[in-house]
Amino acid sequence: MSLTEAGEAYLSRIGPALGDVLEAGEQLHALQGRPSGVLRINAARISIAMVLQPLLAGFLEAYPDVQIELTNDEGYVDIVERGFDAGIRLGESVQKDMVAVPLGGPVSVAIVGSPDYFKRHPVPRHPSDLVQHNCVRFRFSGSGAIHKWELTVDDRIVEYEIGGNLTIGDSMFSVEAALEGIGLAYTFDQLSLPHVRGQEVEAGVE
């Protein structure tokens, strides 16, 4: 069997396009099961430092076809409305209508201050002692609320409204403020331990 003259003419017209379709199908098959494209993530600075930064290099090496766009934002964000694929926040910063999955294990916090600060003020031994101290406060940019310090007292979580003459909107600045002797900072062990080990900051109430 052989093509008619009309068939030959038709094949010569559609041949290049058919080749492109077959090549595109082969490329699609090769990409199946391999992540690719742009991944847009919105995260607070503290979330970037504690969760994302240790993972980024390994992730990008494992998935070279993925491009990550990382946006730092300390406030509440509607990730769908803003065009993000995911958002990373601390547990208490997740809005109720969002679907959340945990990243990493539980984390612990400490209240820390510099040796210079503790030369001027006694080390707090109980959460009730915090009313006598200058504490570095954090204000959420979205709601405007001041973050309450959560501490365990008699096996239950108690929230404390603390006072101080410095209020910040950058969650990573609290340790730096403590190092400068401004006041006490409520921060994660992961961020404060390098300074505590270096004897630049002394731990207060845990």
Any idea where the domains of the chain sit in the sequence?
A: 37-93, 109-203
**In 32-168, where does DSSP find H-type helix?**
45-47, 53-62, 115-120
**Token match 């101290």: residue?**
133
Q: 37-93 with 109-203: one CATH topology?
A: yes
Can you tell me the distance from the alpha carbon of 47 to that of 147, in angstroms, rounded to the nearest whole number? 16
Q: What CATH architecture does domain 109-203 belong to?
A: 3-Layer(aba) Sandwich (3.40)
Return the H-helix or E-strand segment holding 158.
strand 156-160
Domain spanning 37-93: CATH 3.40.190.10: yes
Backbone angles phi, psi at 39, to 5 degrees: -115, 110
Give mean pLDDT, residues 49-66.
86
pLDDT of residue 3: 56
Strands 136-138 and 86-88: unpaired
Can you tell me the distance from the alpha carbon of 23 to that of 28, in angstroms, rounded to the nearest whole number? 9
Q: Are 43 and 87 in contact (CB under 8 A)?
A: yes
Q: Are 71 and 164 in contact (CB under 8 A)?
A: no
Query: Which one, of 110, 117, 109, 112, lies nearest residue 180 by Cα?
Result: 117
How does DSSP classify residue 98? S
Q: pLDDT averaged over the chain? A: 79
Inform me whether the pLDDT recorded for 202 exceeds 70.
no
- pTM of this prediction? 0.66
Q: Report the half-sphere exposure of 160 (CA within 13 A, side-chain side).
A: 22
CB atoms within 10 A of CB 202: 16
List, for residues 64-123, the tens digit of each pLDDT value.
988 999 888 776 667 777 888 888 876 655 566 667 777 767 778 889 999 999 999 999
